[in-house]
Structure 1
């Protein structure tokens, strides 16, 4: 346990607030005296300053004589708060608050809402619950986890003092739109707020505040589509009450769980929603109504300003639906932001969603070209059409729309496509102002799927790469954007066959660039990336070097060329091949490490040269080549040795063929005769590479999802851990079997939200839940004392799930190190 070099001492007097009330008073007797508690000291630390001493994931014992003061804003009378009080620093206009854990029920009988308290924190401990800072009485072990303990009831009087009688609280009034500001939100966590305009998104006259004995999330939505989770206990007195269907205000304590913004109400008296429901959006009404703004002569929308999972609300754009209630939402994955339409988990029978550009002034645009990119996945019949209108005024239904011819991504029922460029759409046949709409249409349960759009452009001619010559180069690709075409100053990317380029990639903190034909429909692919000009005459050291890695190799090739006459035209230059050392090909996975090319002597050349890396592949020859640490005339040590798909650990290797789930046939071919459960499928939401394993469903029993067997030539010598990554949620946890010659060891994740090392257990257990807050989280199994099975064909590794609870969980990159 980490200690703060300061001491905080706290003490609470459990004062009896005895108050008697009678209808009539007999003058022969004195009225009972009201006992008013009084604290004679003062505070010396603000709540916000105390919280600032905490580092997430750590525990800090307060060693200074620190005293905070504030007002209790929680109330456990109705059972939505349990063994905790929430204290904010003032009656109104609070600037900080904190949750105080106490091992006692019925705390509101001692500390009612509005009660001023002084807390002496010396000897108490700061901790957090997935980012929510808490103050407690110590720590305790729960299996492999260390948790923050509540203050013991016998010590309450030593740490918490009451002062005066409870007073009326004035919650801070805020809108859901204002709470999009993360700085503001974080400053208000653990304080009482009043949301000024909101309604429960899914209130349908039957949905209750919570399920019995199970905490439940209910989404608030504001007039502009902004959302907030209301977290309700299944043990509260109001869990089975029907959510109000109107709109209005709601009072509660703000909280957080990872990246999720949450609120907890104290009782139904905090909810006042009797007004008419509003649309819950901006830029258009519920029946396709639009609000037109100023037209533009150019457009370059990369959706960088979206808020993840919130309806898009950009100036000039309209986002409406004409059937159902779904709109286009902002989404972010692996650093890329985009717009998305999907019927997944929709409660509507049909969804028709429109995302409409600002008016495009074709007449005054110099370059009348429009283009964009799309991606499509899990498609069972959903469609995306791109439409143009010259007469849009107030409603999409009354406008005249013409479909434009464009390349639209086409995914499959079980995975996503790559991003597909629309091609240049010539609008020179139009005059005046036009509007372009992306119309998504799906029927829930029968014709579903997800469409994503990005990089919507009009009158934005591509800027040719600058003609740059360098005397030294040390490119570790730290400035590339993952999953986007390489765009580095002085570098040139292009294709002489197909439309795929080299793209940026990132894994476990290491960035590199990659070319691959995987999951493409290209009969031929030739992707080039070319260095800036290298000035050999001015360079003292004329050596050139780089590093490569190969994965899932087939007949694709990587070639390295040099030219003295390159001028941004790949086909016109006189390219000469260089003799280099490349990474060995690997048909069943990735190389365990990047391979250095060795020093390539360019001293036989003079003047300025360019070095080109040419990837040649196709949909059939679709292996991957990765490139990193390109150097010229650079002699200093250090540098990134790469990391690629095994996270930079040169001792890491795939645990079994296909354990990174890139090649589905390779993965399923590595399993025993029981195969794979039908709720386990391939997903393109990957930790690294293109694919991962998705567990989505509710198992009816404690299942073996799969059991992988020992591959030929398997060698576990010196290996001490099995590592993999998970992302998502599950109502029960995971259990893993790691097989030995004489049985197997069991590893149980339990409650899991942050990276941890798991030790062997005596039995399989699925107790606990998983919630990674939308992030990939590392899991490490300690196999130091496990003598792994090495006989080919015998069981090696099994993944198990618990019964009768939902799993929506991704698993990826299972390695042994």
Structure 2
């Protein structure tokens, strides 16, 4: 009798579960709200500049979205390395905005390159120190109200995952340093994924790290602001949380290219890198012909020296090491000046020459005999580069490093 009742119960349970339980629908993304339909999409740039929210954002206020407005863009930054805390950066062709949500692990279902549709009705848009955010009303410890993090349950009802992530669709914009203090530029580009090239960390000495927590650096909200050489710290910094997985990584020395979310704090750019992969050694010879780095260990060849000059890509005060073969000698002064003017090329032929103007012998010594240099000899010469009229040359005062 018990076996018969058990069989009947199982049959009844199976019928209540229905066919969907036995054969689950695997086409819908389990995250977010798949029921959101694309009906009233607004460009992010237009949203931030709209009469409803422009003043709100600029003045640190907030406003609830009362009508159905949507934005659609791709994720450019998340919490994968814990430097963008409770923040998801979303960008389209017109601008970017940050979503503030009290949820960790968002990188698992919102990786970089993931397209997402966000229904804004019922959420709040506001400004934190002029930075545009999507979130909810937040009460600080002192009772001040402002824009802050929504809870994950609320957020889940307001976004829809579209397709699969495609990181190739996320291409950083090159930051224009000449517009670093341009108010319209920061308004238009704040929170974008951008790249700044040819910069150096001021504190980089082979030991300093991104975000130490040992008291060696003043922290604000558990973050360290690192400055860049030659750039006003009131205008731009690299901001890293002490909780970032790379917080204790050593700052790279030399010129680097930095990619990150170019957030803002009032009128200061705050670059937030997403991982150590966002900081790479800068290639000063990108787009320049020839070979070599211009150092004693890696001299540039004449082709690269000529390319640097032709493209005005050389640094006027920098000493470059250049290697070539003497193709012609114009003059060797063995008197008071003790210098020589000659030409070098890649192959020793009298074409595609770099003029070595009034240079000195090895170690900066004066020439005492005309036969101290000869056509066909291979030399490494150190000096500054210039374009004199139409003639590419190495400035007077250069010296031979080696000759053979």
TM-score in same-fold range (> 0.5): yes
Distance in 2, Cα, partners of 1:57 & 1:41 = 30
How many residue pairs get aligned? The number is: 252
- Cα distance in 2 for partners of 1:394, 1:130 equals 53
Change (3 A) 1:172 1:207: same
Q: CA deviation at 1:247?
A: 1.4
Alpha-carbon separation, structure 2, partners of 1:394 and 1:61: 68
Matched residue of 2:185: which SS?
helix
> Partner residue of 2:8?
none
Q: Is residue 76 of structure 1 aligned with residue 79 of structure 2?
A: yes
CA shift in 2, pair 1:275/1:123, >3 Å: same
Take 1:95 and 1:222, find their aligned partners in 2: how far apart are those partners? 30
Where do 1:626-665 residues align within 5 Å?
none
Structure 2 counterpart of 1:255:
263
Work out whether residues 235 and 267 of structure 2, in 8 Å CA contact, stay in contact via their aligned partners in 1.
no
TM-score for the superposition, normalised by structure 1: 0.29
Alignment of 1:708-787 (within 5 A): none
- Which ranges of structure 1 fall in alignment gaps of 5 or more residues? 1-32, 288-392, 396-817
Partner of 1:182: 183
Secondary structure of 2:60's aligned partner: coil
1:167 CA drift (Å): 1.1
Please point out which of 23, 37, 42 is paired with 1:45: 42
Match of 1:130 in 2: 129
CA distance in 1, matches of 2:234, 2:317: 15
Distance 1:142 1:77 in 2: 28
Which residue does 1:87 correspond to in 2? 90
The DSSP-based 3-state class of the residue aligned with 1:263 is strand
In structure 2, what is the Cα distance between the partners aligned to 1:100 and 1:224?
28
Shift of 1:149: 3.0
* Alignment match, 2:197: 196
Alpha-carbon shift at residue 226 of structure 1 (Å): 11
Equivalent pair of 2:203/2:227 in contact (CA under 8 Å): yes
Counterpart Cα distance in 2 of 1:122 and 1:394? 69
> For 1:24-35, what aligned pairs fall within 5 Å after superposition?
none
Secondary structure of the structure 2 residue equivalent to 1:220: coil
After TM superposition, the structure 1 = structure 2 runs for residues 140-151 of structure 1, keeping only pairs within 5 Å, are 140-151=139-150
Q: Secondary structure at the match of 1:156?
A: helix
* 8 A Cα contact 2:79 2:106, kept in partner: yes
Q: For 2:226, what is the secondary structure of its paired residue? A: strand
Task: Quote how far apart the aligned CAs of 1:117 are.
Answer: 0.9
In 1, the alpha carbon distance for the partners of 2:148 and 2:46 equals 22
Q: Does 1:59 align with 2:58?
A: no
- Offset at 1:269? 0.5
- Structure 2 residues without counterparts, runs of 5 or longer: 1-25, 214-218, 285-292, 295-313, 320-394, 398-404
- Say which structure is richer in helix: 2
Q: Does 1:206 align with 2:214?
A: no
Q: Alpha-carbon deviations, 1:741-778, whole Å to 9, x = none?
A: xxxxxxxxxxxxxxxxxxxxxxxxxxxxxxxxxxxxxx
- Partner of 2:160: helix, strand, or coil? strand
1:104 Cα deviation after fit: 0.8
Question: For the Cα contact (< 8 Å) 2:43–2:94, is it kept in 1?
Answer: no
Conservation of the 8 A alpha-carbon contact between 1:252 and 1:264: yes
Root mean square deviation, CA, Å: 3.4
TM-score (norm 2): 0.56
State whether structure 2 residue 267 is matched by structure 1 residue 267. Answer: no
Counterparts of 1:114 and 1:185 in 2: how far apart (Å)?
23
The aligned counterpart of 1:163 is 162
